[in-house]
Structure 1
Amino acid sequence: MSTPGGGEMHQPLPGCFRHQDRPTGLRCSRCGRPACHECLRQAPVGFHCVDCIEQERKGAAARMPRAARPGTATAGLRTTLSAHPTVTYALIGLNVLAYLITAVQAGSILDNNRGSALYERFALVPGLVANGEWWRLIGSGFLHFGILHLAVNMYALYVVGIACENALGKLRYSLVYLVGLLGGSAAVMFGAWNGQTAGASGAIFGLFGAVLIILLRLRRNPNMMIAVIVINVIISVSVPGISWLGHLGGFLAGTAATAAIVYAPEALRAVGMRAPTRKAVVGAGFGVLGALFVVEIVLIAVQVASIQDRYALILPHLRF
């Protein structure tokens, strides 16, 4: 535009909507407001201001299924990683410590089950459990046959344990681990009354089931976990000396316990139960679940104990 005097008239540039002292010729292609280069971001078409980008992000999060939102929880499941999976590390430490003690007592890293007083005291022998040595049901879950058995189980515990602890939290994760361990011991009680079993495999199979339930609840692809479970089942039934009963019992127990934890709150919410009542019912239900496994162990032990009359002279002195 020209003035009568022959000069040119310049229209002043508007200021950035966030920084009024910064004249700019740029605008947000979404809201149309003037914005400086610092307040604009590249978009599929043109540039969007930082406010529009934030609104887009919030809108996308609101449309996203709750289970898929970063940093949120579904039925108490956390989707963010914890920097301190202390329960998993403590469990690994206890297993390693027990192995080192048995190896020193036996004088062998491979045959640590021979000549170890700790092993003799805590390995799971159904006949001895029936004779009153109930501590073997838990203690056997921290013993291992040789360093390879320990290494395989501890690696599996490290991988799935951290995932479960992150999702469930320390207390519920500890309870699932314990229920899986007891479920494995209960299943072993169906086996030979004078056989010996040891290892964390029952509890770890319980965690396999727990991870599967967690993935299904979060609506994530469970194919990889299913493949891991199938491979371990094949190994359990095809390799001699592996207690497939312990693995099966642990898997069923851990799966049932985790399903109760992650699905029960949703079911109770659906029928209109208030939050404090839901928590009390879920806690009581989990306690009942644990009690059922204890009852199962007692009933099996009573069955095994029925043979004591037949082996009265052998059973009190049974060792391996």
Structure 2
Amino acid sequence: MSVTVRAAAKINLHLGVGRVRDDGFHPLDTVYQAIGLHDDLTLAPADGLSVVTRVADHIDPTAVPDGDDNVVVRAARLLARRAGRPASGAFEVHKDIPVAGGMAGGSADAAAALVAYDRLHGLRTSDDDLLAVAAELGSDIPFSLVGGTARGVGRGEIVTPVEDAGTWWWVAVPSTEGLSTPAVYRHFDALHPDAPETPASAEPLLAALASGEPVRLARALHNDLQEPAIDLRPELGDLIARGEAEGALRGLVSGSGPTVVFLCDSAAGARETALGLAGAGERVVLTATGPVAGAHVVTTV
């Protein structure tokens, strides 16, 4: 028997960041959306624990951690330890989500690993317990389980689904060079030493989502990490300007970057923006809709 689980990339439609806390984390008020760029993970029985990763042409395979540093291995070991048994299984991951791109590709893989490991080994972990394990592994991983559109608070790990009846069209442009999330947060702290303790509220974004109007949503998109990301990598600002000139309603750094996403008014608008960016020399331009489901089983054989 083997289990294949699909997990989606995420983008932050709103990312409000507060002053760094004593524990080193920043308080967040964020709205996540899962979009239709996926990683597929297959888990089969094995005596030991292993992971093989196969990447799309636009991903550098050396950027994916291996061995004990791979989040898939850490997820399996954590879930097995909670079940009181040794970790085992052979994972094969097919990656389409950009690595170190601010789209939670590692978090998607971790969420997929948790679901696959639970199903293959018949652990019957409750949803609440699975979310708790996910939060131990990383702040974005609970959302990768939930999917759809959701609000995240705390350090982003306390996730509540929100109503989103829209279908939104996105263009994503990943970078060939990653951007360190801790470095972006440190630069945010340097640029905003007097940042408020309470992050900017996501309420305006939620109201825009409820309206179903792309133009209103474009105006409400917000990312407090965009300024430090662009300050570290000025070409991201140039890319945003180029995409908007090609017809996108709004460009935004995805999370801590360096992937840039563009909201478009329709499927045709997304295609036109993507073609324009490709014609302007961008090597990889991806289109996707949102919201889509969180980590879920697609096949059991």
TM-score class, shorter = under 0.3
Question: Taking CA–CA contacts closer than 8 Å with sequence separation of 6 or more, which of the two structures ends up with the larger relative contact order?
Answer: 2
Structure having the larger proportion of residues in helix: 1
The normalised TM-score by structure 2 is 0.23
TM-score normalised per structure 1:
0.22
